[in-house]
Structure 1
Amino acid sequence: MGKLKLMAAAMLTSLPGPLVAAWYTGRRRVVDGRVIDAKAQALGELFNLVRVPGVVPTIEESRASLRLMAEKFDLPCPPSVTKRDITLPGAEGPRPARIYDRRPEARDRAALLFIHGGGWVQGDLETHDGLCGQIAEEADIRVIALDYRLAPEHPFPAGPDDVLAAYRALRADPGLLGLDAERLAVGGDSAGGNLTAVLMHDIAEAGLAMPRAQLLIYPGVDATLSSRSMETLRDAYVLPPARIDWYLHQYLPDGTDRGDPRVSPLRSPHLAAQPAACVIVAGHDPLWDDGLAQAEALRDAGVPVEVLRYPGQIHVFVSARRVIPQGFDAISRASAWLKAALG
């Protein structure tokens, strides 16, 4: 019976939106007036069958789960985009990276340094391959994805140190990868959004030149987990607050101050120095208020901000574009924003 239930749930995610909406008539989740997207609910319920709420995974199981999700639910890299694996400097040695570009031979390219999500403990170049490819194609820029060190093998601050080292290298010698240093953006999703926002703080602390733009896709920016959405979405699909806390325990050494701006970049004293931002938020994601708070703080500091709100969506929806059309739409809108911001 369990296998049949799993097969039925998987089949439901593949049906057209109107049919899924009809199936959930009168049964859609609502949080603070935000009605969940029917396709998002179908995927969320499938997740709950595969990954039982309240059951703590091993690190290996967690990593395998994200790889499987990307394989089954995300779109592949567009065939028009050329890929090339390289290395970039990390804080303690070279790190794997990948270049995406529809015009690989062009020089002086606008570029995005992309930092993948995965709770600081999972994710790699493969799990975000299709997403990076869509941005490269639609924004017509060179995307450089970084595979930074992961916890718990390499706890904080290994990740942010690797990101800073890679950024320094790109700024110091942009011609090596055919980049225009004045048209460089940095972005990432979830934990990658956190590391992007931390990088802005680190750049200011180090007195380095800021990038032209930053893309924050449902970023985690307040590790105290004290926002309203953390409470109202304590039973959220995919990423309930208890799982976020588990990730933080893998990532942060004992005694780490969760209010440190390198952990909670919402508290950075350098917000006014930061570049224009595009922030994507999902209304059935506990990080909804994190993204909105970061956007508001940046605006209050005088930074131009565009917020792309998806009130019916769940965490990871931009990495489930095969079954959630709004994920594709969100990355298309973010790509258009990057294209305009980078010129």
Structure 2
Amino acid sequence: MDATTEALAEHDDVDPEIRRFVIALNHGYGQFSDFDALPLPERRAAAETVREQWRTGGPVMAETREATLAGCRARLHYPVAPDAAGSPPLPAMLYIHGGGWTMFSIDTHDRLMREYAARAGIVVAGIDYSLSPEAKYPTALDEVVEALRTLRRDAAAYGVDADALAIGGDSAGANLSVAACLRLRDAGEPLPRAMLLNYGAFDPVETPSYARYDGPAYMLTIPEMNQFWANYVSDAAALNDPYVAPARANLAELPAALLAIAECDILADANRAMASRLEAAGVPVEMHVYSGATHSFLEAVSVSGLANQALDDAARWLADRLTGARA
């Protein structure tokens, strides 16, 4: 065991299975010489390679469609065949991958999407929205909003129920999920029935959990998160925009929300605060804080009972919300 691995393993507040996942990811990134100094395209390619083992395996879908939504590469996972004789259209969720608006793809998050599809019995669609800093705000948000509109408008073509849609995402994807609902609400357009928000980036303000859980032992670092925010916007003033930092928005009339919060995450405080703000605005909220979990812990589903529990919690909630919408 090298010194870095020993240092990571000493953090006893992290669930042992999640700790092994974090150590494995850090080891994977360590195979690339000075990963943080690599040009961004090379860092993205390296991240895809490092995370490949965590996106493989898992549920087998009845059908997977490659498509285009809002001009973006898209993938739709069907737990049952969408054209089975007499089968009704299925509820669906648009899932927005994380990565600080800068990294990752529908490939890195493929297993996570399939897990939700299989466990909740819904169609799960994902898009490769435009990444920052090449594409600044509001490009990615515009694409997410248009993808939701397209799923609703062309629901029959996709075999989904236009009246039983959800949106969800992790980290930056959770941010984009709330912001998309704010945009639709403010435009007077129909909203999804539910928001699944996994360890979201809702506000750039540093809170006590930043200092407590900074560093590679907890997956996400303060400099990394600050760089992600800087990548996303054209100037610092934009960080006050409620569509950029949705915790600062009027949250009234948004869809019901489930927040999955990783206890050992620099974003933990902001997620707890977001849950409180949503509840104060009259939004039905369910909040789960997963003790010993770090940022990105859901991707450890192949080795982690805690990740499996969180996925089951979300699947039950989604099924209840979306099946109820169809009744």
Q: TM-score, normalised by structure 1?
A: 0.85
* CA spacing shift, 1:66–1:55, aligned 2, 3 Å: closer
Q: Does residue 41 of structure 1 match 2:19?
A: yes
| Alignment match, 1:72 | 53
Distance between the aligned counterparts of 1:48 and 1:172, measured in 2? 42
What amino acid maps onto 1:44 in structure 2? V
| Alignment match, 1:238 | 219
State the secondary structure of the residue aligned to 1:258. Answer: helix
Distance between the aligned counterparts of 2:77 and 2:25, measured in 1? 30
Match of 2:256 among 273, 276, 280: 276
Q: Does residue 320 of structure 1 match 2:306?
A: no
What amino acid maps onto 2:18 in structure 1? A
* CA spacing shift, 1:57–1:263, aligned 2, 3 Å: farther
Q: Answer with 140-149 or 55-64: which moved more.
A: 55-64
Match of 2:135 among 129, 135, 154: 154
| Alignment match, 1:19 | none
Identity of aligned residues (%): 33
Distance between the aligned counterparts of 1:244 and 1:84, measured in 2? 33
Matched-pair contact (CA < 8 Å) for 1:28–1:36? yes
State the secondary structure of the residue aligned to 2:240. Answer: coil
Per-residue deviation, residues 208-263 of structure 1 (Å, max 9, x unmatched): 11111110011100023x22211222235221111011122222113442121111
Report the CA distance between 1:50 and its aligned residue: 4.6
| Alignment match, 2:203 | 222
Aligned-residue Cα RMSD (Å) equals 2.4
* CA spacing shift, 1:314–1:58, aligned 2, 3 Å: farther
| 1:65-104 correspondence to structure 2 within 5 Å | 65-89=46-70, 94-103=71-80, 104=82
* CA spacing shift, 1:142–1:160, aligned 2, 3 Å: same
State the secondary structure of the residue aligned to 2:238. Answer: coil
| Alignment match, 1:197 | 178
Q: Answer with 206-215 or 106-115: which moved more.
A: 106-115
Distance between the aligned counterparts of 1:77 and 1:308, measured in 2? 23
Per-residue deviation, residues 306-336 of structure 1 (Å, max 9, x unmatched): 1121120111110122232311221121111
What amino acid maps onto 1:327 in structure 2? A
Distance between the aligned counterparts of 1:57 and 1:243, measured in 2? 14
Distance between the aligned counterparts of 2:52 and 2:270, measured in 1? 28
| Alignment match, 2:11 | 28
| Alignment match, 2:104 | 123
| Alignment match, 2:290 | 310
Matched-pair contact (CA < 8 Å) for 1:110–1:179? yes
Matched-pair contact (CA < 8 Å) for 2:25–2:51? no
Distance between the aligned counterparts of 1:47 and 1:96, measured in 2? 26
Q: What residue ranges of structure 1 are gaps of 5+ in the alignment?
A: 13-22, 30-34
What amino acid maps onto 1:331 in structure 2? L
* CA spacing shift, 1:201–1:332, aligned 2, 3 Å: same
Distance between the aligned counterparts of 1:50 and 1:98, measured in 2? 26
* CA spacing shift, 1:227–1:337, aligned 2, 3 Å: same
* CA spacing shift, 1:175–1:46, aligned 2, 3 Å: closer
* CA spacing shift, 1:65–1:283, aligned 2, 3 Å: farther
Q: Does residue 212 of structure 1 match 2:190?
A: no
Report the CA distance between 1:139 and its aligned residue: 0.5
| Alignment match, 1:144 | 125
What amino acid maps onto 1:218 in structure 2? Y
Distance between the aligned counterparts of 1:37 and 1:66, measured in 2? 23
| Alignment match, 1:254 | 235
State the secondary structure of the residue aligned to 1:327. Answer: helix
Report the CA distance between 1:54 and its aligned residue: 10
* CA spacing shift, 1:77–1:256, aligned 2, 3 Å: farther
Per-residue deviation, residues 76-104 of structure 1 (Å, max 9, x unmatched): 35124421101112xxxx21111111222
* Aligned residue pairs, count: 314
Matched-pair contact (CA < 8 Å) for 1:81–1:136? no
Match of 1:285 among 262, 265, 289: 265
Match of 1:336 among 300, 316, 319: 316
What amino acid maps onto 1:325 in structure 2? G
Matched-pair contact (CA < 8 Å) for 1:36–1:284? yes
| Alignment match, 1:16 | none
Distance between the aligned counterparts of 1:234 and 1:28, measured in 2? 12
* CA spacing shift, 1:80–1:188, aligned 2, 3 Å: same
